Structure formats: C-alpha cells, structure tokens
C-alpha cells in the first residue's frame, strides 16, 4: 500500500508539472506523423498500413522512450536529496526499498499513460482507414506493451544512476551516457566487432547472446519478428529468419532488464549514508 501511495504521489507530481501532458503530446505528434506519412503509399503497393506503422513506431520508440524514461528518473533520489526532502521522506514509516520501488512505479505509470494515449491516437487514426489485418492489430498492441516495458528498463537504470551519485548534474550526465551507450554506441561497437572478426569467433549464437545484453535490441527483435505480418516489412521474414528465441523470451529479457537494475538500486540505497 505504501508503494502505491508513493507511486500515486509521483503521478500527481507529473501531472502538476506537466510531464504527463508534454510527454503525451510529443509521442502523439510523432506517432501521428509516422502514421499519416508512413501509411500513405500503402494503398498503391497493397501493404498493410498498420504493419508498416508498427515497424516505423518501433524504430522511433528505441530512440524516444528511453530518453523520456531517463529524463523522468535520473533525479529520483539525488534530486530529493538536493531539495532537502529526502530526510523528511525517510522520517515517515516507509522503507528505503518502498521509496525506490514506489517512485519507479509512478514514473513507469507516467510513461505508460503517455504511451497509451500517444500511440492510441495513432491507432485510432489508422482504425478509421480500411485494409488493416487483425494480426497487425495484435502486433500493434504488443508493440505498445513492450514500449512501456522498454521505458521501464530505462526508468530502472535511471533510478540506479540516481542512487549511485551525490549530485543531480552527475546523475544527468550519467543518464545521457546510459542513453548514448544502449541506443547508439552498443550496436555500432557490435557491428565493428563483427566486421573485424569476419565470423571467426563471433558466431550466430554468440551474436544472439550479445544482442540480449541490450534491452533496446531485445525490444527491436521482438517487434520485428513476433508477428509475420510485421516481419515481412521489417526485412526479417523468410528462410533466413534471424529470430533465435521465441517472442516470449524477448519479453522475459526485458522483464529481467527491469528487475535487475531496480534490485541493485534498492540494495545500493539501503547502504547509502545520508
């Protein structure tokens, strides 16, 4: 109950400082833009417009949602400490793990509201059109759900960064570094390793394992391969299907990426001297 109370307070703060509104507007504007522009030529080529939008939105989500999640969470603890409210919060009958979990849950709720409303607006725009297959709607719903999970993984990492440092500016820099590493640098470095290795050491099984070490890659693989109607347009269908794991395995990987950083953040906060 205390965790839910803290989460609800975090959502109220998000509503008061316009975080929910700003995030929803940004996500809705970008999703609608991709929906209207990305599905425009599908009537000529007989492509499923929703499947095309799923591919486009999944690619956008990998860049946008982690950034929003880190902006929400990087000052979870260190921000409270700098404002002088952390000691007051700890004076209440609430455990340290409840503070971290409650605040993280509230930030995920803010992100979930923005994602459902923003991507829901794009879904409604496509629903008004015809020629959308039922399988594509299932893929769209799965994309929205896993987008929230992807955001939750970066909320957990943002909370961890906030616990490990003593200054808000340092936490902000660490959050930017996390975003750059997982969203941009990891895949670039992995590509460089593959080119240099030429298949001598890094085989398909090793590559699959390395991809799972990045939650953004697990998200991408799930949304590009879970649905046949989407995999056709993502270039990941056919005899050479690269999906090494069943779709639920990628969801499990995302769940681990939420649980492990959050558990480390809770353990570090328990040992932190104020």
Highest mean pLDDT out of 72-81, 127-136, 154-163, 194-203? 154-163
Alpha-carbon torsion (122, 247, 219, 207), positive or negative:
negative
Cβ-contact 261, 159 below 8 angstroms: yes
The pLDDT tens digits for 105-121 are: 999 999 999 999 988 88
Instruction: Map tokens 């990628």 to a residue.
Output: 250
- Which of the two residues, 55 and 169, has the higher pLDDT score? 169
Q: What is the pLDDT of residue 157?
A: 96
- Which of the two residues, 89 and 153, has the higher pLDDT score? 153
pLDDT mean across residues, the chain: 83
CB contact burial 133-160 (16+ within 10 A = b; e otherwise): eeebbebbebbbebbbbbbbbbbbbbbb
Q: Judge if pTM exceeds 0.85.
A: yes
- Say which range, 25-39, 42-56, 113-127, 183-197, has the weakest mean pLDDT: 42-56
d(CA 219, CA 208): 13
* Nearest partner of 85 among 171, 2, 168, 173, judged by Cα: 168
Number of domains in the chain: 1
d(CA 62, CA 200): 30
Determine the 3-state secondary structure of 185 from DSSP. helix
Beta strands in 39-102 (DSSP E): none
Containing structural domain, residue 146: 2-271
């Amino acid at each position: 109950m205390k965790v839910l109370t803290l989460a609800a307070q975090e959502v109220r703060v998000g509503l008061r400082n316009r975080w929910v509104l700003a995030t929803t507007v940004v996500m809705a504007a970008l999703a609608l833009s991709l929906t209207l522009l990305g599905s425009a030529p599908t009537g000529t080529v007989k492509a499923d417009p929703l499947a095309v939008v799923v591919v486009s939105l999944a690619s956008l989500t990998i860049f946008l949602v982690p950034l929003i999640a880190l902006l929400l969470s990087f000052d979870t603890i260190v921000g409270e400490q700098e404002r002088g409210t952390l000691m007051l919060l700890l004076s209440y009958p609430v455990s340290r793990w409840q503070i971290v979990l409650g605040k993280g849950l509230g930030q995920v709720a803010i992100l979930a509201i923005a994602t459902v409303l923003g991507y829901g607006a794009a879904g409604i725009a496509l629903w008004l059109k015809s020629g959308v297959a039922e399988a594509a709607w299932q893929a769209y719903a799965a994309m929205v759900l896993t987008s929230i999970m992807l955001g939750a993984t970066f909320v957990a990492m943002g909370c961890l960064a906030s616990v490990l440092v003593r200054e808000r500016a340092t936490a902000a820099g660490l959050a930017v570094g996390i975003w750059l590493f997982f969203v941009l640098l990891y895949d670039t470095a992995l590509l460089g390793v593959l080119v240099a290795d030429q298949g001598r050491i890094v085989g398909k099984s090793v590559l699959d394992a390395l991809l799972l070490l990045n939650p953004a890659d697990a998200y991408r693989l799930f949304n590009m391969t879970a649905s046949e109607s989407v995999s056709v347009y993502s270039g990941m269908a056919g005899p050479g299907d690269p999906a090494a794991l069943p779709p639920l395995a990628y969801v499990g990987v995302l769940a681990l990426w939420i649980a492990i950083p959050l558990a480390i953040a809770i353990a570090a906060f328990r040992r932190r001297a104020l």
